[in-house]
Structure 1
Amino acid sequence: MTETTTPPDTPLPTTSVSHTPGEIWRRVRGLLLAALLLTAAGITFAAFHSGGGHGRLDPRSPDPDGSRAVAELLKDRGVTVDVVTTLDEATGAAGPDTTLLVAAPNALTAYQQNTLLNATQGSSGRTVLVAPGRLSVEVLAPGVRAMSRGPVDPLAPGCALPAARSAGTADMGGFRYHTDMDGAVTCYLADGLPTFLTLPGLDSGDTVLLGSPHLLLNDHLDRQGNASLALQTLGSRPHLVWYLPSPTDPSATEDPGDGAGDSGSDDGTAAEDESAFVDLIPSGWLWGTLQLAFAALLAAIWRSRRLGPLVTERLPVIIRASESTEGRARLYRKADARDRAAATLRSAARNRIAPLVGVSSRDAQAPDVLLPAVSTHLGTSDSDAGALLFGPVPSDDAALVLLTDQLDALEREVRTS
């Protein structure tokens, strides 16, 4: 092997793959601009929506899933509306002239449910439970069972309750309830079970169960008889206390003790826990998470389409083809791989001979096609060419060298004939 020298004035090829500051800036400026725009949009959105609560069923929220519309209508009718977020505030406000609305009864712990029940049972006011599930209804409304949740549809009253008959058809559904309690009024039946249930209490007090919160939402209040039913249900007393359970309420960490509130477990536990968790998340956070996921997807698609064409780089060392061939031959010899070497030599010879005898490259490795063509071209038998092109593995290095010479001779003979 001969050693080549590089002239002194020839620049050495660089092996550095580091990016220059300009290249780095061109790569990241698009991402920085997108991050800046997203940050500005988030600040602007927060500035325009910084006032008031924006949770689901929040009477201060003008969002589609808020309840500000019904709260304002109640105020116009002379009903005072107070929003509370702790159990102590809710139980302290219970009284004969008060309607206590529990917006998320499924989010209450066993201790909170039992404490709330004890406070409301001793008053002659009204308690409205919005979509209580299987576990919460067993504690907050003893004698009632919550069945599976159904769709929300326009339903007819189907009962003699004055408020329901006056409102007419309303968007009801969701949880369906079953009770054998005397004096219970069942309205808005779905599959034969009520989705609006009124239970008698002490004196003139009562408890109302709504299977779905739809009629209280801003986006649904103007449909069917929703507004009428909501106003009559929540406006029967001069004072409305709107209880929005909060996870920061100290009572949420109280020990129920002695199994209080242990109502067992059923298939609906996981679904109720999930529903309660979602109810406590403001709608803005849900939309924000969805927008961030969509932005991440767009960024991934954008980056995958900007990989660019392949870039060729100069090798730091130029290796001759002969040197590469000799290096591979030494590896074969070191591994005593005469079978691999012979197979490589024969395959290369077949590929070169095939077009010379009129055989396509696809059939160059097929003995039944190549050998008859070679024999016809040379005027010899198939066995002579077959032993060279498809024969056994050489037994030693000398046989391998001899095979190489014979393949070269066969190729020269084909070319010259």
Structure 2
Amino acid sequence: MTGSPHPTEMPRSAEPSPSPEPPPDAPSATAGPPHGETSLAPTPRRLWTRSRGIVLALVLLLAAGVAIAVVRSGGQHGRLDPRSAEPHGSRAVAEILGRNGVSTRVVTTTEEARSAAGPETTLLVANPDLLTERQRTRLHAATENSAGRTVLIAPGPRSIGTLAPGVTADTTPSTDSALAPACSLPAARRAGTADTGGIRYDTLAPDAEACYPSDGLPSLLHLPAPRSQGDTVVLGSPDILFNSRLDERGNASLALQLLGSRPTLVWYLPSLSDDRAATETERRSFFDLIPAGWRWAALQLAIAAALAALWRARRLGPLVPERLPVVIRASETVEGRARLYRRADARDRAADALRTASRSRLAPLVGVPPAQAHAPETLVPALSSHLRSPGQDLHLLLFGAPPGNDAALIALADRLDALESEVRHS
């Protein structure tokens, strides 16, 4: 090392050995691609190759969703509808009731159900959980003192507390479908074993009759009205009303006795066409307006998106050397890095590079192993013994604080250069 480096250049004490001159036939840095090489710009063919997997996954997901929707809509069409002859419809029980003098009328709005409630009427609510809180309150107020019978089909925790006060629904359904009555209710004793296994209920009402128990909780409750001759029947499963299950066990007997106690049966099927429900003042959140099952659909879409991202994500493998189009001189690299250091005012990094390189070169000259070249307690004493002028502060020179300006950085480089020269001469 001779002379002081320019402030815009990396001092030569950290400069790697220069590379050989490039061969005469080396390609130019500004030369274009070789003849016949294609452009790296995206083309329609390349875009299709990259995205066809995602497109195929989306198509399959959409097809699966449509298929599931068709199957579910087909299987549940006309469910508990007394006009439907499908397996999950209830036309069979309505026709049998009609032959025995019980007329069946279907209503689809809360107002029709409320106006139909009376002492000569049995009101069947097919899907109580579809009703809003305001609808349930108004319906219970109309049936509480009507002296008629109200039959609730599989009400859940959301609706049972309003339509049948004092009754709670257990969230764990019965594991058995066919259950024995095990109660004194005449209709249940005459019917015997029936497919009533479903939602189970609990109540503290002293006059309630609990039938068809499973694990200690009944799936059928008979609740007499305290101030009238009416009553409420809570049925935990709709199976006894299905066309496909009516002829099994005592299902038909139990269904006819529960629904045929009055000359008129009003079959209430809650639906979205209930104009009163659509204009109610009850405030409903955005999530209440989304159809059931949206959470599972959103979860499936999130999993599909995560899998697609994992499939298409860039994976970093091991480093591979790349042949440069031209050979760059080492001095150009050092000068370019020095300019970057100066532009960023990174004198600390430049000083650290100078000191690290000097320590690495001085250690073998004074007999210090390379592993301890950067340990001040080992390197400084070894250097002091090889110097003719021991008054220097070697610890400050080799391990001190970074310089505060460019002049101090140049002075540091000069002192490190002088130190190396003195050690070599000694």
The TM-score normalised by the length of structure 2 is 0.63
Give how far 1:26 is off. Answer: 1.4
Asked if the contact 2:104/2:267 (under 8 Å) is kept, the reply is yes
Structure 1 residues 351-370: aligned runs within 5 Å: 351-354=360-363, 357-361=367-371, 363-370=372-379
Structure 2 equivalent of residue 259 of structure 1: none
Greater shift, 368-377 or 75-84, is seen at 75-84
Determine which of 133, 155, 159 is the counterpart of 1:131. 155
Once the two structures are TM-superposed, the CA of residue 21 in structure 1 deviates from its matched residue by 2.7
Identify the match of residue 243 of structure 1 among 268, 272, 275.
268
RMSD: 5.5
- The one-letter amino acid of 1:167's match is T
Whether 1:252 and 2:271 are equivalent positions in the alignment is no
Paired residue for 1:167, among 183, 190, 193? 193
Aligned match for 1:27, one of 32, 50, 61: 50
How far did 1:91 drift?
Answer: 4.5
Deviation at 1:120, TM superposition (A): 7.4
Q: Tell me how far apart the structure 1 counterparts of residues 241 and 332 of structure 2 sit (CA, whole Å).
A: 81
User: Equivalents in 2 of 1:38, 1:319: separation in Å?
Assistant: 53
Q: Is the 8 A contact 1:70 1:230 kept in 2?
A: no
Q: Secondary structure at the match of 2:42?
A: coil
Letter in 2 for 1:86: T
**Distance across 2 between alignment mates of 1:305 and 1:313:** 19
Cα 1:230–1:326 shift into 2, 3 Å? farther
- Partner SS state of residue 374, structure 2: coil
Contact 1:145-1:177 at 8 Å conserved across structures: yes
1:298 to 307, 311, 317: 307
Identify if the C-alpha distance between structure 1 residues 145 and 98 changes in structure 2 by more than 3 Å, giving closer, same or farther.
Answer: closer
Report matched runs for 1:190-229 at 5 Å.
196-200=220-224, 205-210=230-235, 212-213=236-237, 227=251
1:152 aligns with 2:206: no
Given that 1:170 and 1:215 are in contact with CA atoms closer than 8 Å, whether structure 2 keeps it comes out as yes
**In structure 2, C-alpha distance between the alignment counterparts of 1:329 and 1:10, rounded to whole Å:** 24
Tell whether the 8 Å contact from 1:134 to 1:147 is kept in structure 2 after alignment. no
The equivalent of 1:71 in structure 2 is: 90
Does residue 108 in structure 1 map to residue 127 in structure 2? Answer: no
What is the DSSP-based 3-state SS (H/G/I as helix, E as strand, rest coil) of the residue aligned with 2:276?
helix
SS at match of 1:198: strand
1:37 to 2:56 alignment? no
Once residues 162 and 98 of structure 1 are traced to their aligned partners in structure 2, the CA distance between those partners, rounded to angstroms, is 18
Aligned to 1:11: 31
Match of 2:352 in 1: 343
What stretches of structure 2 of length at least 5 have no aligned partner? 1-7, 9-25
Q: Letter of the 1:104 partner, please give it.
A: P
**Do the aligned partners of 2:200 and 2:217 also contact (CA within 8 Å) in 1?**
no
Check the 8 A contact 1:124/1:206 in 2, yes or no: yes
Which stretch shows the higher mean deviation, 378-387 or 111-120? 378-387
Amino acid at match of 1:71: S
> Alignment length, in residue pairs?
380
Query: Residues 388-399 of structure 1 correspond to what in structure 2 (within 5 A)?
Result: 388-391=397-400
| Equivalent of 2:415 in 374, 387, 406 | 406
Percent of residue pairs bearing the same amino acid type: 42
* Mapped partners of 2:146, 2:313: distance in 1: 65
Residues 169 and 92 (structure 1 numbering): CA distance in 2 closer, same or farther, change over 3 Å?
A: closer
1:163–1:69 Cα change, 3 Å: farther
> What is the match of residue 331 of structure 2?
322
**CA separation of 1:299/1:243 partners in 2, compared to 1, >3 Å: closer, same or farther?**
farther
Which whole-Å CA distance do the structure 2 matches of 1:7 and 1:293 have between them? 49
Bigger mean CA deviation after superposition, 341-350 or 325-334: 325-334
Q: 1:86 aligns with which of 95, 104, 109?
A: 109
1:177 equivalenced with 2:187 (yes/no): no
SS in 2 for 1:245: coil
Q: Deviations over 1:300-357 (max 9, x none)?
A: 3222366888899999999765345445545666787755543332123224444664
* Secondary structure, counterpart of 1:251 in structure 2: helix
User: Which runs of no fewer than 5 residues in structure 1 stay unpaired?
Assistant: 62-66, 257-261, 263-269
Deviations along 1:179-229, one digit per CA (max 9) or x if unpaired, are 35xx5424467998866321235987421124x4476698xx79x989579
CA separation of 1:364 and 1:308: change in aligned 2, threshold 3 A: closer
CA distance in 1, matches of 2:425, 2:257: 107
For residue 21 of structure 1, what is the amino acid of its counterpart?
P
CA distance in 1, matches of 2:169, 2:362: 79
1:266 match: none
Counterpart of 1:145, as a letter, is G
Question: How much does 1:252 deviate?
Answer: 0.9
- Which string of whole-angstrom CA distances, capped at 9 and with x for unpartnered residues, describes residues 206-256 of structure 1? 21124x4476698xx79x989579636655458765433224411214568
Closer, same or farther in 2 for the Cα pair 1:294/1:378, shift >3 Å? Answer: same
Greater Cα offset, 310-319 or 225-234: 310-319
Q: Kindly state the Cα deviation for residue 109 of structure 1 after the two structures are TM-superposed.
A: 4.1
Q: Deviations over 1:111-167 (max 9, x none)?
A: 5642564267436344335326477644x44xx323474533468755311344423
Distance in 2 (alpha carbons) for counterparts of 1:346 and 1:193: 83
Aligned partner letter, 1:87? T
1:11 aligned counterpart, secondary structure: coil
1:176 Cα deviation from its structure 2 partner: 2.5
Judged with a 3 Å threshold, the aligned counterparts in structure 2 of structure 1 residues 347 and 382 are, in CA distance, closer, same or farther, namely farther
Q: Which residue identity is paired with 1:171?
A: G
